[in-house]
């Protein structure tokens, strides 16, 4: 374990003796079907970042004001038909030495196989072929030049949970040339990338088989299922070395395994693993608290794992203009389409409900909890079941439509947020 000597600086945050210390956390999220194949169109976001964040949709002269994608599409066209990976909210913290406090800093992040679609503070963006052609050869980037560290100033006002929570870290503030100040550098994006792990399900749905796309060691892996009542069941699988082959674990949990109290047990296990991988205590807590809704409270079956640093550096190269001790801790998250979800989709496809008669507020709702009591009373049972499919329900229903086209499903998707953005014929 690294031991640093702390110096108390004139700024409110901490600084280090020696070289600049840089810590980063973030999530690589994907959706896989029962055979472990990536599902497209997953850039629908039920936790959008504040409006002041810079978005590729606002920076490129390709959209009129009326045609720009909505905030909840992660800065890109809704349900993008080539998006198989979500790069979710990496944040970069800085702990400067006295020397680093007095010199400008350049930081560049490249996304090999994707676009960086949202970022803060201001920087120079590269988004080739956006928004039409996203491929495995795409290389998006954002560069922050002339940053200064430790110069405190007013941050943008917001109450958004996904923004204020990462601020609860004792890092130095960062100021851009445009005088935008924040506790961290932020960026996110979408890509056409497969997850480093592939999870397949047995035909009877009883077993999950986990394998890696290349030889690698996973330091920690968890399997989690969240029910609609937010009760939680999980398995702490521990480490996994793909050189030793695949691993198989039970997919199903017993009814007595689901308890709300399990959430804290899981967070404790993940916090310990994140700190062991290099994050500070407050950084690990900020990461887990930022994603509490999507990680732990959104219904569904998912796999979490610590992404090997080598894989992260290859897909997401980070360059810093001065000598720095860099720690990057990324969590891989794989959402799994379950047999239970397939049954819901088949019921929707055979239903005779005219969803066009529903209030428009329901059709664009991102989270069931946001609806007023009066609106909840107007939700047909099947539409409520659709909302309960979880964060990637739109991508799941399009995947089902491609597999088993039906008039009922086509009628359903044309009334939802992304219906006009994907060719469903």
174 touches 147 (CB < 8 A):
yes
Nearest to residue 188, comparing CAs of 166, 171, 172? Answer: 166
Q: How far apart are CA 295 and CA 199, in angstroms?
A: 18
How many other CB atoms are found less than 10 A from the CB of residue 244?
A: 8
pLDDT for res 378:
64
pLDDT for res 361:
54
pLDDT tens across the length of the chain (425 residues)? 444 443 435 444 455 656 899 999 999 999 999 999 999 988 775 678 899 999 887 766 554 444 444 544 556 666 788 899 999 989 999 999 887 787 899 999 999 999 999 999 999 999 998 888 899 999 999 999 999 998 777 789 999 999 999 999 999 999 999 999 999 999 999 999 999 999 999 988 899 999 998 999 999 999 999 998 899 999 999 999 998 899 999 999 999 999 999 999 999 999 999 999 999 999 999 999 999 988 898 889 999 999 999 999 999 999 999 999 999 999 999 999 998 888 888 888 787 666 555 555 555 544 545 555 556 666 677 777 777 787 788 888 888 888 888 877 777 776 654 544 444 44
Determine the 3-state secondary structure of 259 from DSSP.
strand
Tokens of 419: 């219906």
């Amino acid at each position: 374990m690294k031991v640093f000597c702390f110096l108390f600086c004139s700024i409110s945050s901490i600084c280090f003796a020696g070289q600049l210390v840089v810590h980063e956390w973030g999530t690589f999220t994907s959706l896989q079907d029962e055979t472990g194949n990536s599902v497209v169109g997953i850039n629908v976001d039920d936790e959008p970042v504040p409006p002041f964040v810079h978005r590729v949709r606002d920076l490129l002269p390709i959209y009129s004001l009326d045609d720009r994608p909505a905030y909840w599409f992660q800065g890109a066209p809704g349900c993008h038909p080539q998006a198989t990976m979500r790069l979710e909210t990496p944040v970069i913290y800085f702990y400067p030495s006295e020397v680093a406090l007095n010199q400008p800093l350049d930081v560049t992040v490249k996304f090999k196989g994707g676009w960086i679609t949202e970022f803060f503070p201001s920087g120079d963006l590269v988004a080739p072929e956006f928004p039409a052609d996203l491929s495995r050869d795409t290389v998006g980037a954002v560069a922050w030049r002339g940053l200064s560290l430790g110069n405190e100033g007013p941050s943008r006002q917001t109450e958004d949970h996904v923004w204020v929570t990462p601020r609860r870290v004792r890092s130095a503030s960062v100021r851009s040339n445009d005088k935008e100040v924040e506790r961290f550098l932020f960026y996110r994006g979408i890509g056409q990338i497969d997850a480093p792990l592939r999870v397949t399900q047995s035909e009877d749905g009883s077993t999950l088989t986990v394998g890696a796309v290349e030889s690698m060691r996973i330091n920690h892996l968890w399997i989690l299922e969240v029910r609609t009542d937010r009760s939680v069941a999980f398995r702490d699988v521990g480490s996994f070395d793909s050189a030793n082959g695949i691993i198989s674990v039970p997919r199903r949990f017993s009814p007595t395994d689901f308890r709300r109290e399990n959430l804290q047990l899981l967070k404790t296990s993940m916090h310990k693993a994140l700190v062991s991988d290099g994050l500070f205590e407050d950084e690990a807590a900020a990461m887990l608290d930022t994603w509490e809704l999507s990680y732990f409270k959104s219904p569904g079956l998912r796999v979490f794992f610590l992404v090997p640093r080598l894989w992260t550096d290859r897909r997401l190269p980070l360059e810093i203009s001065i000598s720095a001790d860099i720690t990057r801790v990324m969590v891989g998250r794989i959402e799994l389409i379950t047999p239970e979800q397939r049954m819901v989709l088949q019921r929707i496809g055979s239903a005779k409900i005219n969803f066009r008669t529903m209030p428009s507020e329901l059709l664009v709702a991102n989270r069931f909890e946001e609806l007023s009591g009066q609106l909840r009373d107007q939700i047909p049972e099947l539409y409520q079941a659709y909302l309960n499919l979880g964060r990637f329900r739109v991508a799941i229903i399009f995947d089902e439509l491609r597999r088993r086209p039906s008039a009922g499903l086509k009628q359903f998707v044309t009334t939802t947020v992304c219906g006009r953005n994907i060719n469903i014929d």
